[in-house]
Amino acid sequence: MSYRCPWLVLGMVCLLQAAEKEPLVGTAANQNLELKAKLHMDPREIREVVGADLPAGYVVIEMTVTPKTEEEFMVSYDNFILLSAKDGQRVIPFTASQIAGSSRLVVGPGAASGGGVMADEQGPVWGGIGGPPVRRGPAEAGGLGNAASHSGVVESEMRTGGEESPLVEVLDRKALPEKKIEKPATGLLYFPLEGKHKPKHLELMFRGQAGKLNIRFVK
């Protein structure tokens, strides 16, 4: 019977590895709403939950927002901020068109010529340690300063032209809807995050009409 032991041990190791790869889930609640967030950082996990590959440099969070009162309230991407304690990045979610549209924001070292931070008319960019995330309004355009001058900020540029990718439709279909809700709403949030981070570095913050909540992703 002893010859079975290695296979038994191997099976236990496989089960443990599978358990370790389970997405981390965080929750938070107040008297107005409850949040449940499932974190996906591995590209294979992201592909499975999205149904397609994303460009490098994105964290995906499966978000469920559950109202606890009968009063409607607005869910907006501006409500959600992903903070990294590693380098101070503070980012808000990108829309499908910002990720894969014909005009999209490209992030990464050296992306922008001249050191400017560029975005489309909806494009959020992020601040460094202690700085708030920035959401650009329709009237704003062009450079937003020198990215290299702020800790935790990376260069980016706007690239236009070409046909809209089919990925836009996929991302839109899976995304958390921006709308007034009176019952639970579920969907994905796509956060651009430069560099390598561990779940323990990340904190999801909610700031909105229904209050302030924070979620940490720890085992």
Residues 80-138 pLDDT 10s: 999 999 999 999 999 999 998 765 455 554 443 333 333 343 444 444 444 445 443 33
pLDDT digits (tens, 9 = 90+) for 162-189: 566 889 999 999 999 999 999 999 999 9
Evaluate whether 113 touches 86 at the Cβ level (below 8 Å).
no
User: Which one, of 90, 86, 92, 64, lies nearest residue 190 by Cα?
Assistant: 92
204, β-bridge pairs: 82, 215
Q: Check residue 5 and give its pLDDT.
A: 54
Domain-located, residue 9: no
Domain-located, residue 71: yes
Domain limits for position 130: 25-216
Q: How far is CA 160 from CA 19, 54, 157, 182, 193, in A?
A: 42, 18, 10, 38, 21
Q: How many residues does the chain have?
A: 219
Please, what is the angle between helix 167-174 and helix 43-50, to 10°? 80
pLDDT digits (tens, 9 = 90+) for 39-81: 999 999 999 999 999 999 999 999 999 999 988 889 999 999 9
Query: Would the pTM of this model clear 0.75, i.e. be above it?
Result: no
pLDDT digits (tens, 9 = 90+) for 115-126: 333 334 344 444
Domain-located, residue 8: no
Geometric angle at alpha carbon 24, from 21 and 25, rounded to 5° = 145
Domain-located, residue 19: no
Enter the tokens of residue 113: 């010529």
What is the number of domains present in the chain? Answer: 1
Confidence of residue 218 (pLDDT cuts 50, 70, 90): confident
